[in-house]
Structure 1
Amino acid sequence: MSRLPFYLIVGLLLVAGVAMSIHRHVQFEVPWTPGEQRQVWEIEAQVNFIADGGPAKVNLALPSTQQGYRILTEHTASPGYGLAFLEENGGRRAEWTTRQATGDQQLYYSVQALVAPSSRQPLIEPPPLRRDIVWESPYDTAARQVIERAWSRSADPFSFARELITDFTEARQGENARLLLTQFDRSPLLVRLLNQAGVPAREVSGLLLEHGRRRQSLTPWIQVFDDPEWMLFDPRTGERGRPDNLLLWESAGHAVLEVEGGSNSRVGFSMLSRNQPAAAAVRSELADDTLLNFSIHSLPLEDQALFQTILLIPIGALMVVILRVLVGIKTSGTFMPVLIALAFIQTTLITGLIGFLLVVAVGLVIRNYLSYLNLLLVARVTAVIITVIAIISVFSVLSYRFGLNAGLTITFFPMIILSWTIERMSILWEEEGPKQVLIQGGGSLLTAVLAYLAMNNPLIRHLTFNFLGIQLILMALILLLGNYTGYRLLELRRFKPVTED
């Protein structure tokens, strides 16, 4: 029978698992290792205005995920105000409203922004060109000559914007530029000239991030479009590109702050930088649950903690398959060591080993007495289960009385599994003797310890929880091991006489 379909399935599982993991790392910046640190900026915007005594409405532009930064969390403090987050003309805004406000008012908005250098530049629709640009004399002549001069030295919209802005710097400022600057502000003037030349552009507002700064204001930037790309320009110097410490706060070309029912409005910014584990930064990121971003992080924290343990079971199962199929270790029950290893994670290894040996040893003694009663199987196993519960209860009380709080964790052992383990070992003792009990019991304990070491490894815990594609890779490896038909390592002892000869 052809094995091609089998190897195709294994190959698809491997490719799908690796692709999902790489996509999650690249697209959502989930780290490969648990100790990585990421820089997070905590920014607070404080809105101040003097209310007129009647209804008030405050509209503030908000940042969104963009090239270089990803918004994690945002909070507001506005007692007595209603609050709504709005999506308007491609930008996010916060709107505070109240029926009555008098005197000085303060509203707060805080945001956490994760530094994400690999995040891509978002696609933005270019603004419509203004067709109603009218200049009064003599500014019309000056504007036309400035445009013609920059146009002759350019080859595309971006180079034209660079040359035009450079002509307004002090080093190259001519008479026409000086004349226009006496009547118009620099940034709106540059946008107006770019639009007149047929180049889509708009003025946006950005925040230059510096650790520990307070009462900072936004700076204007020129966003120039050459469909489908766009580029930022500094209107003061003509430098092209986004500085690494620039966070675009308002990128739709609208006012940053609008206040109705108040006067003397202003907004100031304070900022702090700190490092935090990359895994925590990813968990605090706003959920974006698409098919490709399918993750456990979208579940409640209680369920996340549960799945963090469940997703380790395939690692323990892989260890069992390797030790049984390749090494040839015998265990009491196929996957009983995995459940014991899970208990070790809760109890710690030394406490778990001592508790496991005590429970099984006492359980075997009591089970040996039950064998003389000639009970039916179901009744006998039920009696063993009750016995195990009683043993665990007694050990827990005694350990607590002696001040050994670690002994209380013995309750994490799977009682039904322990009962069946005692039952199997007792039958094995009666049928094949104590040697086989020691072989299978020791093999089970060794497998459980090795599975515990693998499952409790911080790197493995991190990978299995954050990359669900790992489960497909484990499935492919187990399928490949299931096809192994060669000698086990422990079986090679049979050939020892041949090597001696």
Structure 2
Amino acid sequence: MHSKKPFYILVALLFILGITASVYRGVEHKVPFLPGKQVQSWAVDAKVQFQGTGDPAEVSFSLPNDPAFEILVENATSPGYGLSITDTNDQSDRRAIWSVRSAQGQQDLYYKVTLIPTGSTKVIASTEPSEPKPYIWPATEQAAAEQATQEVWAKSATNLSFAQQLNKALNAQERSQNIELLLSSNSPNKLFLHMLQSKGIPAQEVSGLFLEDQRRRQQLSNFVEVYNDGEWHLFDPTNGTQGRDENLLLWDRSGKSVLDVIGGVNSQVNFSMLQDTRSALATSLDVMNNQDALDFSLYQLPLEEQSLFKGILLIPIGVLMVVFLRVIVGLKTSGTFMPVLIALAFIQTTLLTGLVGFILIVACGLMIRSYLSDLNLLLISRISAVIIVVIGIIGVFTLLAYKIGLSEGLTITFFPMIILAWTIERMSILWEEEGPKEVVLQGGGSLFVATLAYLAMSATWVQHWVFNFLGIHLVILAVVLLMGQYTGYRLLELRRFKPLAGE
């Protein structure tokens, strides 16, 4: 007797692999587990303006770099300008560079980007920053700066706690005289940054944009990032807050100027933004496309082939229903997987139209098939004749439906004609051998199974799963293999034992 252990190991591997692949696709690639899910997106326009002097002009503009937002689409409008986008290996200093041989008068350049929130607000440092050079204080400020720094330093234990205490000291209701002196000649951001650097703590000034729906002509706000244990922490010394708002987009983290213009004067940049709602599935596909993660995906196929596969990938769901209803429940059907093909036709015709059309076609086919039985034809000739008759019946019903204005009747052409012909042939033989009762039993069972398979296959969430989470098919295969090992009583057979249960 063969051991079933390898079989169960195979089933377990299929099940685990299918679940893992599906969860990975949902978590890593952000493919929604439910259809129709929407996500919020932001469209941000940056308008760069300057006055050209007639000389060659080059404009360098910092581009957004924030792990809390994923860039879906970005483009620039600059008629007459050359455009290139440069970045570093860690993407911390992405810049758009416009260039033109001669710029005269008012110049307008546009950059547009569409972003979606990622939910990840932590800024992890890709490399360990080097220790900053100590800031050299002016002679009039040096003593006050050193004394104020030492007072805060004594109350801290780490780089982060020093920054927190320093931020608190700069925004205290009753600030020390040293802090008041330093703030009289330094902005809170600059003073905060210089005092951190004087203690060798890596810190940098960053620019952020507050996203508000339908706002125009917005400016960037300045913040300070402080490095501690592999992570950058955001501080706003102007109001004494730490951390970031959900609607804050870190636009520039390079520590350089946001906008540099050579060959122009009076340069400025303004931002406009608009919040929108878009499909979560379409968004995840755009993200995967940007990350080159669609190398082995059905979405790479042309739309016609994608539509074809959306129908083909529903077949395992119908097969699962047939196996369960036949092996576990014990229903009888005419043909093993004929109900699956009928269910596919129901998806095209709708359920009611498909049921009526199927019954009419099979009923008319059985009457004509009874006449063919009297002719004593060979099997191949009889089946061929039935196929031709089925085509004729479908053509007549379609024409009649068109004449009386029933547009739903036109969809019966989606029925698989060869399957219908074999169904008529099998039912005719069954009628002759077993009688009409068995025909009604198997025909009714086929329609019942086809209806349940249609309900499962037409469910929106099922269609979403089988196409977007291909690992689910491995789970279906594992379940089918398990049911294939079932050798017990069918549920409908248990009624034979009802008398043994007594009253």
User: Counterpart in 2 of 1:20?
Assistant: 21
- Tell me how far apart the structure 1 counterparts of residues 374 and 97 of structure 2 sit (CA, whole Å): 80
Q: CA offsets, 1:149-191, max 9 Å, x none? A: 2221111111111222333336354444444445544434433
User: Counterpart in 2 of 1:4?
Assistant: 5
User: Counterpart in 2 of 1:246?
Assistant: 248
- Tell me how far apart the structure 2 counterparts of residues 123 and 440 of structure 1 sit (CA, whole Å): 68
- Tell me how far apart the structure 2 counterparts of residues 332 and 119 of structure 1 sit (CA, whole Å): 59
Superposition pairs of residues 79-478 of structure 1, within 5 angstroms? 79-88=79-88, 90-91=91-92, 92-117=94-119, 121-131=123-133, 133-169=135-171, 171=173, 173-287=175-289, 296-297=298-299, 301-478=303-480
User: Counterpart in 2 of 1:489?
Assistant: 491
Q: Which moved more, 1:143-152 or 1:225-234?
A: 143-152
Q: 3-state DSSP class of the match of 2:67?
A: coil
- Tell me how far apart the structure 2 counterparts of residues 101 and 368 of structure 1 sit (CA, whole Å): 89
Q: CA offsets, 1:400-447, max 9 Å, x none? A: 333222222223223333333233333333443333322222111111
- Relative distance call for 1:293 and 1:206 in structure 2 (3 A) is farther
- Relative distance call for 1:412 and 1:143 in structure 2 (3 A) is farther
Q: Which moved more, 1:5-14 or 1:197-206?
A: 5-14
- Tell me how far apart the structure 2 counterparts of residues 253 and 62 of structure 1 sit (CA, whole Å): 13
Shift of 1:236: 1.3
Q: TM-score scaled by structure 2?
A: 0.88
- Which 5+ residue runs of structure 1 have no aligned equivalent? none
Amino acid at match of 1:12: L
Do the aligned partners of 1:127 and 1:202 also contact (CA within 8 Å) in 2? no
User: Counterpart in 2 of 1:47?
Assistant: 48
- Tell me how far apart the structure 2 counterparts of residues 123 and 429 of structure 1 sit (CA, whole Å): 77
Do the aligned partners of 2:66 and 2:251 also contact (CA within 8 Å) in 1? no
Shift of 1:351: 1.5
Q: Which moved more, 1:459-468 or 1:319-328?
A: 459-468
Q: Which moved more, 1:156-165 or 1:82-91?
A: 82-91
Q: Which moved more, 1:345-354 or 1:132-141?
A: 132-141
Do the aligned partners of 1:200 and 1:224 also contact (CA within 8 Å) in 2? yes
- Tell me how far apart the structure 2 counterparts of residues 293 and 120 of structure 1 sit (CA, whole Å): 29
Q: TM-score scaled by structure 1?
A: 0.88
- Tell me how far apart the structure 2 counterparts of residues 416 and 159 of structure 1 sit (CA, whole Å): 78
Q: Which moved more, 1:449-458 or 1:330-339?
A: 330-339
- Relative distance call for 1:382 and 1:84 in structure 2 (3 A) is farther
User: Counterpart in 1 of 2:62?
Assistant: 61
Q: CA offsets, 1:75-134, max 9 Å, x none? A: 443344444443236233333344454432333333332234367655533443333744
- Relative distance call for 1:130 and 1:247 in structure 2 (3 A) is same
Shift of 1:216: 1.0
Do the aligned partners of 1:71 and 1:286 also contact (CA within 8 Å) in 2? no
Shift of 1:311: 2.8
Amino acid at match of 1:107: L
- Tell me how far apart the structure 2 counterparts of residues 397 and 101 of structure 1 sit (CA, whole Å): 70
- Relative distance call for 1:83 and 1:426 in structure 2 (3 A) is farther
- Tell me how far apart the structure 2 counterparts of residues 110 and 207 of structure 1 sit (CA, whole Å): 14
Do the aligned partners of 1:166 and 1:172 also contact (CA within 8 Å) in 2? no
- Relative distance call for 1:21 and 1:184 in structure 2 (3 A) is same
Do the aligned partners of 2:354 and 2:412 also contact (CA within 8 Å) in 1? yes
Q: CA offsets, 1:37-92, max 9 Å, x none? A: 4332232222222333454433332224613x333333443344444443236233
- Tell me how far apart the structure 2 counterparts of residues 302 and 55 of structure 1 sit (CA, whole Å): 50
User: Counterpart in 2 of 1:78?
Assistant: 78
Q: 3-state DSSP class of the match of 1:49?
A: strand
Do the aligned partners of 1:43 and 1:110 also contact (CA within 8 Å) in 2? yes
Q: CA offsets, 1:348-399, max 9 Å, x none? A: 1112222222333333344444445555444544444444334333433332
- Tell me how far apart the structure 1 counterparts of residues 382 and 57 of structure 2 sit (CA, whole Å): 78
- Tell me how far apart the structure 1 counterparts of residues 502 and 201 of structure 2 sit (CA, whole Å): 88
Q: 3-state DSSP class of the match of 1:167?
A: helix
Do the aligned partners of 2:288 and 2:294 also contact (CA within 8 Å) in 1? no
Q: How many correspondences in the alignment?
A: 500
Q: Which moved more, 1:191-200 or 1:154-163?
A: 191-200
- Relative distance call for 1:313 and 1:62 in structure 2 (3 A) is farther
- Tell me how far apart the structure 1 counterparts of residues 341 and 355 of structure 2 sit (CA, whole Å): 13
- Relative distance call for 1:364 and 1:270 in structure 2 (3 A) is same
Do the aligned partners of 2:134 and 2:198 also contact (CA within 8 Å) in 1? no
Do the aligned partners of 2:204 and 2:225 also contact (CA within 8 Å) in 1? yes
